[in-house]
Structure formats: structure tokens, C-alpha cells
DNA sequence: TTGAAAGCGCTAACAG
DNA sequence: CTGTTAGCGCTTTCAA
């Protein structure tokens, strides 16, 4: 089964490769007779153009890469799902790279741009220095990571989310609200969730209590830390968890410690992936518009690829799910 | 920022492109002097070889595609994670395609093989006819889908899983055990989970009760169906759910219907993704060796790519998590 | 030890 | 309307 090329088709049809190329791309003038001869040859040989050769010639791969910390993580897998779906509408294919929050990996994936394997890149992971990104040329958009002034960022309105959650807890009577934070770095707009919490607490003259649990920590370790909150002497009647998985740990521990939700304890999470809302129907959470984030990321990236002008920041609205 | 090519490097270094290629690939004889001149030029120009040109010449892309029903689904996102990690060890990149259980999409992704965009494909989705696959040439392995005799399959020991789960429930005293099944088609080895359930039930002279809930159904619809089991007149003291998400719905409904787990009702799920075990620490489930499945899939695919001999079936062991 | 030249499969001037 | 030819960036004979 050696590969059939355009040349074989041309020979079979008794025409030039140019003509075959013309019918393939529907470009220029082609007589009906020639077209049908070519079509027939294509059919008989069961020919499909070599896309790598095309990519090579056109310096355009119709491929995009998405870098995430890990694709196993409801937020990123949902994001990836929608991004792939959007891209496929325009005939693009999607590569996935798991940075594992390691700069070495991130750098490796970023290289795909320079190697011209992809036409663009969407990064939802940020572990290398800004200066390094400054040196990278190529089409990049970032999702929920501030990289530098050159790279457009798509984010949720994290501040609003933190505000809505905290205000809701207060409005429902909570006074001792703990914020469990994934403690993103300052580069991460997610840190605004905690800032909003602080602002709202201060405005209401309530005491802030922030527990930081690094995002990159292992799941069991994160769970242990959440449990510690329950075993500690800290008094609390509300929890604002920076993401839904942390919230689920809290829900889990609340049950073990016989604290009824929402009567004895109110919990609000963040992210609102379909999966987490599905698995925890009672979960109150700040819903990020993941599908819209995906759409916007793709839209902006495709604009960059087409050398169109884009904004440097897109902030999308969030809302409480109940 | 026009692209730097090997020619620019050659000119800068005052040598031929052949020589540059030689130092790039570390092939043939190169004097130290020449090598260092070339290295210097590469550095100064900040040159990276165009991988598409390489792929084109070598007819080898160092890319693989994974087709799944949807990447947002803990099982597949975890599988994708491990597959990507394995592939990257050998310098391969991974494309993801969501078939959405639609043959049109599946066919579209499969085309990537013929277009020579990828060196191989891992399919965890199967919605087109076997005859169509028969006509496809290219390196393919399938995960948990029986496609045809040509295509190697990697599967869990689904029968064993169903057996372990059902026996465990019986051993713990259950007599009226419902099996909630994702009702995979016959092509799917997952159907063996249910077959094992039936066998064990029959052997113990217990009445089978199978509730089928199509895998492709929407989440809320699936949840509704599980709820129906609780509202119906059916009497049951155990549930074997074909996958953990269904199990989680059952857990959820059990709580609403005040049926204590495991006192009043025992539930065992299937899949055992890290995520689900993490989110539901009490979940009893048949753990598929997802990481091993990924490793084996990649191993076999790379063997195919290297034209090595492979088996047609690899069945990997499963176990109960508690 | 190095270079010239061919060619991977395709598209696009350019000519006719 | 159709064909000839060059060339995309790279690797690899083949010669020197």
C-alpha cells in the first residue's frame, strides 16, 4: 500500500498534476470533461491529498495546540472539549499538552509554534518567565493567565465571582466565612476571587480567614488540608472555596463532622463545570462561562492567525448557579 | 519576523545547507570547526528547524490522534492524560478528537490518517461500520472497542470486573441487585460487565434486573432514569452501576430517599478514575487500570508504527478499590 | 570532511 | 482551458 500521490492521479487521468490540483482546490478554469476524468481517477485510486505536503507549501498547518496544567481536571477537560469543537468548525485540529505545571514541559510545547507545527496556541498554563514569552513570536492567546501585554487574555470576571459568592454567604447569614484558595500566583486572574472576598469581608466588618492550598498539590494532600480546617479550632459558618473540587472536599468533610449543609454550614464553590454541577446537584457555585471562554479564545486566536486586530483583554461574566 | 531557514543558517556560517543539516541531525562526519561555526549561526539567528518540512520529507509526523466520545468525561480525560504523557516520552504529540458518538465526526478524524497528518491513531469511540474500518489503512489501536480483527484492542477485564462487583454485593448480603448499564453496543467489551453480572446472579439463583441507560444520553436524562429506579416499585438492596457517574447518581438519589449506604443499600460502580475516587471517597468501584491501558495503547501503537508484530488483544486486570 | 543537486507532494506563477 | 516549471525547507545520495 504505497502512498498514492497527485502524480499518480494525473497519470491515471492522463492530465497534468496542475489540473488535478485545480480540481482538488476548485481553482481556475477546468473543463467539465477534465474535471470528471480527474474525479474518476481520484475515486479509482482512492486518493486523498497529503496534508503535510500542503501544510508545508502553504506554511499553514490548520492545527492549534492547547496547553493546560492537566487535561484530567474537569475545568480544563471541559474547556478543551469546547475549544476543540469550535476549532473543528473552521477545519482546525487540536493538540493537547499537559504542562504539569512544569516550565520544562511548557517550554517544550511552546516550541511547537516555532517549529511551525501549529498555527497558534492557547495557553491555560503559565510556568515560565514573562521575559521568555516576550521572545516568543507566534499566535498565542491565554486563558485565565496573565502572561504579558502582547498576549491577549480571555478570563472570567473572577472578581465579580468572588464578590457574588461572599455577598451571598453574608446575605444568607454567615458571619465567619473561610476562603479556601487555590493560591494561584499573582499572574493568575483567579487571585481576584480572593481579593474580592477580602474586599467584601472588610466592607462588612467581618474577619477574613484565608486558607491557601496550592493548586499544584496532590489531591489527597488538598483533601487533608481541607479536613484540617474542620479539625482545627477555627470557628466558621461559611466557606467560599476557590474551585469546586475544594468545595466538594469541604462538603465531604462537613458530612463527616455532622455539619448539615446549608443549615449549619454554607459552602460556595467556583468553576461550575457541567460535570461538578452534575455530580453535586446541591453544589452552590460561581459558574464560569466555559463554553464562551472557549469560543472567545478560538475566535481571538483565529483573528491573530488572520492578522486581524484584537483586544488585549476579554472579561466574561460569571454568575451563581442558584 | 520572516522565518529563518536552514539556508540562512548556512549562509551566515559560510557553509552548505548539507553541513547544517548534518550538525542538526548529528549525522556523518563534521569537523569541530564546522560544527561550532554552525552552532554559532544557529544561536545568533535563533533558528529552529521547520518540523513540517521534516515531516514532509520523512513522511513521519511524530503525531498521533486520540478519538474519544467526549474528552469531558473523567474516564477519557484521564486516559488522554496518560496517553499524552506516554507519547511525549517518545517525542510524539497528541491530537484529540471528540466524536460525540457521531459517525460523521469519527470519519472526519479518521481521515487524518489518510491525509498523513498523523502516524497513528488511538480510537476509544466506534460509530462507523466495521467494513469502513476494513478499508482504512494506517496504524490504529482501539481502546475498549472491538473494531475488527485487524485492529489491536486494549481492554480491561470487564467480565472479571462485573463478576467481582456482583459477587461482592452478594457476599455482603445483597439479594436484590439491580444492574444499571450504560448499554454499550455489542462492539463494546464493556457489555461483558453486564454479562458477568447476569452469570453471577444466575449462578446464585438470584433474579436479574437490568436497567439500561444509553451512554450517549444527556447527563440530566441519565440522572432522571436513575431516579426512576428509586421511585418505581422495584425492590432492591444493591446496585451495580456500569460506570461511576451512574453510581454517583444512585448515591445521590439514595440520600434523597433516605436509604443509608451501605446499611440499607450497597452500590458498586465501575471505572475508578482518580477523580471519581477523589470526589467520592466512599465510592466502592471496579478500578480500571487506566494508566496501564494508556501505556499499553501507546506501546502497541508505536510498535505498529515501527512495523513490529503485535498481539490482537490485550486484556488488563481490574480490581475492587475496597 | 564537505558540497551540489535531487526530490519528498503540492500549489501557483507563467506561458501557451 | 491546460501544461511546464519553480520552489516551499529539509535530508540524503553521490561526488569531490
> What average pLDDT does the segment A200-228 reach?
95
Question: Is B89 in CB contact (< 8 Å) with chain A?
Answer: no
Distance CA B95, CA B72 (A): 15
Q: What is the pLDDT of residue B129?
A: 84
Q: Which nucleotides of D are covered by protein (CB under 7 A)?
A: 1-5, 7-13
Q: What's the whole-model pTM score?
A: 0.96
What is chain B's percent helix, strand, coil content, to nearest 5? Answer: 45, 15, 40
Cross-chain residue pair B50–A252, CB shorter than 8 Å: no
E runs forming strands in B99-237: 120-123, 140-143, 153-156, 177-181, 209-212
Task: Please say if the pLDDT value at position A1 is more than 60.
Answer: no
Three cell numbers written together for A279: 455530580
Give the nucleotide with minimal C1' distance to the Cα of A5: C9
- B17 CB neighbours strand C below 7 A: yes
> What average pLDDT does the segment A207-216 reach?
93
Q: What is the pLDDT of residue B291?
A: 98
Whole-number distance in Å between A90 CA and C13 C1': 28
Nearest Cα neighbor of A301 from A161, A118, A160, A81 is A118
Contact B125, B69 (CB under 8 A): yes
Task: Please say if the pLDDT value at position B123 is more than 70.
Answer: yes
| C-alpha of B92 from chain center | 16
Question: Is A32 in CB contact (< 8 Å) with chain B?
Answer: no
Percent of chain A with pLDDT over 90: 90
Q: What confidence category does residue A188 fall into, taking pLDDT thresholds of 50, 70 and 90?
A: confident
Q: What is the pLDDT of residue A306?
A: 96
Find chain A residues with C-beta within 8 A of B273's C-beta.
72
Three cell numbers written together for A277: 454541577
Q: What is the pLDDT of residue A127?
A: 84
Q: What is the pLDDT of residue A130?
A: 84
Residues 190-249 of B with CB under 8 A from A: 219-220, 223, 245, 248
Q: In this complex, which of B53, B63, B115 lies closest to A56 when CB atoms are compared?
A: B53
> What average pLDDT does the segment A262-285 reach?
97
Phi, psi of B171 (to 5 degrees): -60, -30
Task: Please say if the pLDDT value at position B186 is more than 80.
Answer: no
Q: What confidence category does residue B125 fall into, taking pLDDT thresholds of 50, 70 and 90?
A: confident
Q: Which residues pair with B122 in a beta bridge?
A: B66, B141
Distance CA A11, CA A4 (A): 11
Contact A167, A206 (CB under 8 A): no
> What average pLDDT does the segment A71-80 reach?
98
> What average pLDDT does the segment A220-233 reach?
95
Nearest Cα neighbor of B121 from A57, A105, A93 is A93
Cβ neighbours of residue A21 closer than 8 Å, sequence gap 6 or more: A6, A27
Task: Please say if the pLDDT value at position B156 is more than 60.
Answer: yes
Three cell numbers written together for A112: 511547537
> What average pLDDT does the segment A113-140 reach?
92
Write out pLDDT tens, residues A84-119. 999 999 999 999 999 999 999 999 999 999 999 999
Q: What is the pLDDT of residue B216?
A: 86
Write out pLDDT tens, residues B75-107. 999 999 999 999 999 999 999 999 999 999 999
Q: What is the pLDDT of residue A14?
A: 93
Q: In this complex, which of B48, B56, B70 lies closest to A56 when CB atoms are compared?
A: B56
| C-alpha of A144 from chain center | 8
Phi/psi class of residue B59: alpha, beta or left (left: φ > 0; alpha: ψ in -120 to 50)?
A: left
Q: What confidence category does residue A186 fall into, taking pLDDT thresholds of 50, 70 and 90?
A: low
Question: Is A321 in CB contact (< 8 Å) with chain B?
Answer: no
Question: Is A61 in CB contact (< 8 Å) with chain B?
Answer: yes
Calculate the average pLDDT of chain B: 95
Q: What is the pLDDT of residue A132?
A: 87
> How, if at all, do strands B120-123 and B93-98 pair?
unpaired
Cell numbers 516568543 correspond to what residue?
Answer: A136
SS3 B151: coil
| In chain A, alpha helices (H) | 6-13, 17-25, 32-45, 51-58, 74-89, 103-114, 130-135, 158-171, 191-203, 219-231, 244-256, 274-279, 290-305
Q: What is the pLDDT of residue A187?
A: 73
Q: What is the pLDDT of residue A8?
A: 95
- Secondary structure letter of residue B285 according to DSSP: E
Q: What is the pLDDT of residue A157?
A: 98
Task: Please say if the pLDDT value at position A12 is more than 70.
Answer: yes
Give the nucleotide with minimal C1' distance to the Cα of A31: D1
DSSP B105-121: HHHHHHHHHHTTS-SEE
Distance CA B146, CA A145 (A): 41
Task: Please say if the pLDDT value at position B73 is more than 90.
Answer: yes
Distance CA B167, CA B141 (A): 32
Q: In this complex, which of B88, B117, B137 lies closest to A51 when CB atoms are compared?
A: B117
Nearest Cα neighbor of A144 from A285, A223, A243, A245 is A243
> What average pLDDT does the segment B122-144 reach?
91
Distance CA A318, CA A290 (A): 10
Q: What is the pLDDT of residue A129?
A: 84
Cβ-defined contacts of A24-31 (< 8 Å, 24+):
A24/A49
Cross-chain residue pair A48–B281, CB shorter than 8 Å: no
Amino acid at each position: 500500500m504505497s502512498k498514492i500521490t497527485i502524480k499518480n492521479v494525473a497519470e491515471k487521468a492522463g492530465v497534468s498534476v496542475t489540473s488535478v490540483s485545480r480540481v482538488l482546490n476548485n481553482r481556475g478554469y477546468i473543463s467539465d470533461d477534465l474535471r470528471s476524468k480527474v474525479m474518476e481517477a481520484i475515486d479509482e485510486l482512492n486518493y486523498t491529498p497529503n496534508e503535510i505536503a500542503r501544510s508545508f507549501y502553504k506554511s499553514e498547518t490548520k492545527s492549534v495546540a492547547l496547553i493546560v496544567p492537566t487535561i484530567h481536571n474537569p475545568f480544563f477537560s471541559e474547556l478543551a472539549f469546547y475549544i476543540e469543537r469550535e476549532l473543528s468548525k473552521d477545519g482546525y485540529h487540536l493538540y493537547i499538552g499537559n504542562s504539569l505545571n512544569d516550565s520544562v514541559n511548557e517550554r517544550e510545547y511552546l516550541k511547537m509554534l516555532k517549529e511551525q507545527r501549529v498555527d497558534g496556541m492557547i495557553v491555560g498554563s503559565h510556568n515560565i518567565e514573562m521575559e521568555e514569552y516576550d521572545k516568543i513570536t507566534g499566535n498565542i492567546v491565554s486563558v485565565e493567565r496573565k502572561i504579558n501585554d502582547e498576549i491577549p487574555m480571555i478570563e472570567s470576571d473572577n472578581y465579580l465571582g468572588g464578590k457574588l459568592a461572599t455577598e451571598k454567604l453574608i446575605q444568607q447569614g454567615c458571619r465567619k466565612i473561610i476562603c479556601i484558595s487555590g493560591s494561584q500566583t499573582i499572574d493568575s486572574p483567579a487571585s481576584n476571587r480572593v481579593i474580592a472576598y477580602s474586599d467584601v469581608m472588610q466592607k462588612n466588618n467581618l474577619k477574613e480567614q484565608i486558607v491557601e492550598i496550592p493548586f499544584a498539590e496532590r489531591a489527597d494532600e488538598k483533601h487533608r488540608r481541607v479536613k484540617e480546617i474542620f479539625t482545627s479550632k477555627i470557628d466558621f459558618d461559611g466557606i467560599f472555596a476557590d474551585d469546586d473540587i475544594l468545595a466538594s472536599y469541604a462538603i465531604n468533610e462537613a458530612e463527616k463532622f455532622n455539619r448539615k449543609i446549608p443549615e449549619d454550614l454554607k459552602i460556595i464553590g467556583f468553576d461550575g463545570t457541567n460535570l461538578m454541577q452534575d455530580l453535586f446537584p446541591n453544589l452552590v457555585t460561581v459558574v464560569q462561562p466555559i463554553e464562551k471562554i472557549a469560543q472567545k479564545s478560538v475566535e481571538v486566536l483565529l483573528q491573530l492567525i488572520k492578522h486581524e486586530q484584537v483586544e488585549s483583554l476579554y472579561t466574561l461574566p460569571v454568575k451563581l448557579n442558584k
